[in-house]
Amino acid sequence: YYDSNTVLYLNGQFIKSAETTTDLYGQSLHYGYAVFEGIRAYNTHNGTRIFKAKEHFDRLQRSAELMHIPFPFDKDNLIRQTYKLLKKNNLKDAYIRPLVYCGQNMTLEAATESSIMICAWEWGAYLGNKLVKVGISSYQRPNPKSTHVEAKASGHYINSILATTEAKKNGFDEALLLDMHNNIAEAPGANIFIEKNGKLYTPPLGSILAGITRATVIKLCKTLDIECIEKQLTVDDVKAADSAFFCGTAAEIIGIASVDETVFPAVWTETLGATIQRTYKALVLEKQNYEVII
């Protein structure tokens, strides 16, 4: 992720990653009490452009608020500093990771101070470019009555690590987690859509992260005249689907080959997911501004 020349942004300054230190007495390290974002910048013909920068920094602030972590930062300035960070590291295509964290406090009370760091690196498609084999996880997503699942909070990702580890151990590429009612929720780091009889379906908000890519896909469906329905889905609904895909900033749009032993019947290139994948790529690369059409 970094070498001796990599620079990161920390509380208003740019410093070499190798020269930073970690506060070992802090709530973020001990309790996972931090919030973060995952953002991508693309090398477009208009130059390097951070896709949905405002939406990501808005969600970062909202996550901090839900977790009672102070967020005394100017979001427009953070976006400007992120562009500078990319320049300083010579990055044109990049994955960007802002983290708001808390140190110097070991209590279980809400933090009164926080720090922000932003780092970036080159990161290919998180789940690769081949269709993924998915296993239903034995882990459920966090219960919305135990935490604010719509916050992108560091501690929530323990659940993601457990599910990913289990899936890989069982020979799958990725996990698919259910919610507390055994409805389909999401992957450890991506949202899911299924296709059935020419329509797309995706789980509603409630037990999932409100993915920015998910919102983009729903908008693209309107532009492309694809019917997209937000509705609770069961494991049986997914296994009876014609095709399915994951979407997320890191994963982008990636088709699913199978869920457990069930292989989807549709040929990926002929699915709505493949159309969305092509359109999403064109959108992030600013080859066509589909959202203007909406």
Give the active site residues. Answer: 152
Q: Work out whether 213 is an interface residue with ligand PMP (CB under 6 A).
A: yes
Q: Work out whether 142 is an interface residue with ligand PMP (CB under 6 A).
A: no
Cα gap 206→68, rounded to integer Å: 20
Q: Interaction with ligand PMP in 263-292: which residues (CB under 6 A)? A: none
Span near ligand PMP by CB under 6 A; candidates 101-109, 164-172, 189-197, 253-261: 189-197
Q: Letter for the amino acid at 193?
A: F
Q: Interaction with ligand PMP in 238-257: which residues (CB under 6 A)? A: 248-249
Q: Work out whether 103 is an interface residue with ligand PMP (CB under 6 A).
A: no
Element of type H or E holding 100: strand 94-101
Span near ligand PMP by CB under 6 A; candidates 23-31, 204-212, 265-273, 278-286: 204-212
Among 179, 186, 195, 252, binds ligand PMP (CB under 6 A): 186
Among 28, 153, 214, 264, binds ligand PMP (CB under 6 A): 214
**Per the structure block, which two tokens stand in for 37?**
């974002």
Among 212, 221, 254, 283, binds ligand PMP (CB under 6 A): 212
**Per the structure block, which two tokens stand in for 111?**
């933090």
- Going by DSSP bridges, is the β-strand pair 94-101/115-121 parallel, antiparallel, or unpaired? antiparallel
* Strand partners of residue 132: 256
Q: Work out whether 211 is an interface residue with ligand PMP (CB under 6 A).
A: yes
**Beta-sheet strands, E only, within 172-274:** 174-178, 184-186, 191-196, 199-202, 228-230, 243-248, 252-259, 262-263
Burial class (CB in 10 A: 0-12, 13-18, 19+), 3: exposed
Q: Which residues bind ligand PMP (CB under 6 A)?
A: 38, 152, 186, 189-191, 209, 211-214, 248-249
